[in-house]
């Protein structure tokens, strides 16, 4: 049996954190080999959004380029295609097409003409820092226009899919496959096991082992929640198994359209439009309930600051934690900024409500759709990076915020309800 080839992109991404000159040397060699070019002035872009990817700039033959690659653990042993931008373009979605591309296992990389446009993530971060009414109106209008286009594509491409088609979609690598052992496809495994199981969870003036943390009943700002963390992870491994997602139909989708993968293009008429890039997980049979999960969480609930800028969050917000009689109580003054709240309203009105209505009208809305969507939203923060204080960039304060947000994503509140339950009530088809 032949050995699985080593992922060169994984090695370069690891080196970029510890030995950048070696990373640049290896990246130069990889680009030269893959594309028969001679890269010059190669630079790695260190930004807070590159949680599972690497990007940067170089020049070749007098042209300026932008490169990016996404790297998943064990991806060199996976099947399925990456980076199918043509799928999105054919469906009518705005997507920047790469000028060079490699989809070889362990060597997946895209190269684009360098653009002067900002990413939408950077535009919105500026508005989180300093509110500007006119700029917010322009940004929200651009988001509304994009959601209208997405909905039109989902209406046009929604179709029945088989369990095999659902399982073959790369988007599962962002959800189910981060919870399992690849060789056996059994849970617990992957990031779920590596990040959390048998680890210590530190919050301000409190430390819990996995047993206490995972089995605690949780309250957030006094609101009690139905589920424990271990129950949420356990149910996610069942509900987000792709063989159980086929009944909700499939659509053509980007699948990972967080705003660091979206260009913000200002138009001559004074408005702005949005355009995708880095379609690492695009597909033709993306389970409909997963298609907008990443965009909904990462572009709204991950902000302001706590996921991508935890040091800033710890300076701007407070958090506390207590544990008594099996109850973990998290308190924080973190909240959505005005522009993120506006984006949430757009996502509800222009996409989720009509999409769920469409699924229902075609007999494709599963009875458990609400739980499935909540569990997908729960996995967005918990598996994109290690949320434990000290394990990466998180502090005790930002970790408390992180797990409080994750619980609100995944579990139903007991009592009056919360922002997420009101959001889901508002988009539920009549």
- In this structure, what token pair is assigned to residue 298? 């990462």
Average pLDDT over residues 148-155: 98
Domains of the chain and CATH, by start = 8-113 (3.30.200), 120-427 (no CATH)
Which is higher by pLDDT, 420 or 53? 420
Alpha-carbon span 161 to 250, nearest angstrom: 6
Nearest to 371 by CA among 227, 246, 160, 217: 227
Percent of the chain with pLDDT over 90: 84
Average pLDDT over residues 303-312: 97
Report residue 4's pLDDT band, with 50, 70 and 90 as the boundaries: low
pLDDT at 335 over 70: yes
pTM, rounded to two decimals:
0.93
Average pLDDT over residues 395-407: 98
Res 2: pLDDT: 45
- In this structure, what token pair is assigned to residue 405? 């947000």
Q: Which residues contact 171 (CB under 8 A, 6 or more apart)?
A: 253, 255, 256, 281, 283, 286, 287, 290
Helix 396-410 vs helix 369-384: angle between axes, to the nearest 10 degrees? 160
pLDDT tens across 10-35, in order?
899 889 989 999 999 999 999 999 99
What is the phi-psi region of residue 198: left when phi exceeds 0, alpha when psi lies from -120 to 50, beta otherwise? left
Q: How far is CA 73 from the centre of its chain?
A: 16
How many C-beta atoms lie closer than 10 Å to residue 335's C-beta? 11
Report residue 278's pLDDT band, with 50, 70 and 90 as the boundaries: confident
pLDDT at 5 over 70: no
Average pLDDT over residues 179-183: 93
Which phi and psi angles does 248 have, rounded to 5°? -90, 10
> Cβ distance 316 to 305 under 8 Å?
yes
Mean pLDDT of the chain: 94
Alpha-carbon span 70 to 52, nearest angstrom: 6
Render 2-18 in DSSP notation, one character per residue: PPPPP-HHHHHHHHHHH
Which phi and psi angles does 328 have, rounded to 5°? -95, 115
CB under 8 Å, gap of 24 or more: what pairs does 333-338 form? 334/306, 334/401, 334/404, 334/405, 336/300, 336/301, 336/303, 336/304, 336/419, 337/127, 337/128, 337/131, 337/303, 337/304, 338/131, 338/136
> Cβ distance 170 to 255 under 8 Å?
yes
pLDDT tens across 61-108, in order?
999 999 998 766 665 554 445 567 889 999 999 999 999 998 777 788
Res 79: pLDDT: 45
pLDDT at 235 over 60: yes
Alpha-carbon span 74 to 309, nearest angstrom: 27
Res 8: pLDDT: 86
C-alpha triplet 82, 164, 188: angle, nearest 5°: 80
Alpha-carbon span 248 to 227, nearest angstrom: 24
Which is higher by pLDDT, 387 or 6? 387
Q: How far is CA 404 from the centre of its chain?
A: 18
Q: What's the residue count for the chain?
A: 430
Q: Which of 97-106, 349-358, 393-402 has the lowest mean pLDDT?
A: 97-106
Res 80: pLDDT: 47
Average pLDDT over residues 283-292: 97
């Amino acid at each position: 049996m032949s050995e699985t080839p080593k992922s060169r992109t994984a090695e370069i991404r690891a080196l970029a954190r510890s030995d950048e000159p070696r990373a640049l040397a290896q990246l130069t060699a990889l680009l030269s080999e893959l594309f028969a070019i001679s890269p010059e002035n190669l630079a790695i872009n260190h930004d807070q959004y590159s949680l599972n990817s690497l990007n940067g700039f170089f020049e070749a033959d007098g042209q300026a380029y932008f490169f990016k690659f996404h790297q998943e653990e064990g991806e060199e042993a996976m099947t399925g295609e990456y980076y199918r931008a043509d799928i999105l373009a054919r469906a009518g979605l705005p997507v920047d097409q790469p000028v060079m591309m490699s989809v070889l296992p362990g060597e997946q990389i895209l190269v684009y003409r360098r653009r002067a446009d900002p990413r939408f993530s950077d535009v919105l971060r500026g508005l989180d820092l300093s509110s500007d009414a006119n700029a917010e109106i322009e940004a929200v209008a651009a988001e509304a226009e994009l959601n209208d286009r997405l909905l039109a594509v989902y209406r046009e491409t929604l179709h029945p899919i088989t369990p095999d088609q659902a399982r073959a979609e790369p988007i599962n690598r962002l959800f189910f496959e981060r919870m399992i052992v690849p060789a056996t496809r059994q849970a617990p495994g992957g990031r779920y096991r590596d990040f959390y199981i048998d680890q210590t969870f530190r919050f301000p003036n409190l430390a819990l082992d996995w047993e206490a943390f995972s089995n605690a009943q949780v309250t957030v700002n006094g609101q009690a929640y139905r589920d424990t963390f271990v129950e949420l992870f356990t149910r996610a491994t069942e509900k987000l198994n792709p063989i159980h997602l086929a009944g909700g139909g499939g659509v053509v989708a980007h699948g990972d359209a967080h705003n660091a993968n979206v260009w913000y293009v200002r138009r001559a008429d004074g408005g702005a439009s949005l355009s995708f890039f880095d379609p690492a997980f695009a597909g033709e049979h993306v389970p409909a309930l997963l298609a907008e999960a990443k965009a909904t969480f990462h572009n709204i609930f991950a902000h302001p600051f706590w996921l991508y800028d935890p040091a800033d969050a710890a300076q701007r917000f407070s958090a506390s934690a207590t544990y008594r009689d099996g109850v973990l109580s998290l308190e924080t003054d973190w909240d959505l900024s005005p522009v993120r709240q506006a984006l949430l309203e757009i996502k509800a009105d222009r996409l989720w409500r009509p999409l769920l209505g469409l699924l229902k009208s075609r007999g494709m809305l599963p009875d458990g759709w609400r739980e499935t969507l909540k569990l997908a939203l729960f996995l967005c923060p918990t598996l994109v990076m290690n949320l434990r204080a000290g394990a990466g960039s998180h502090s005790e304060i930002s970790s408390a915020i992180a797990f409080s947000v994750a619980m609100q994503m995944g579990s139903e509140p007991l009592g009056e309800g919360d922002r997420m339950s009101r959001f889901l009530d508002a988009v539920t088809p009549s």
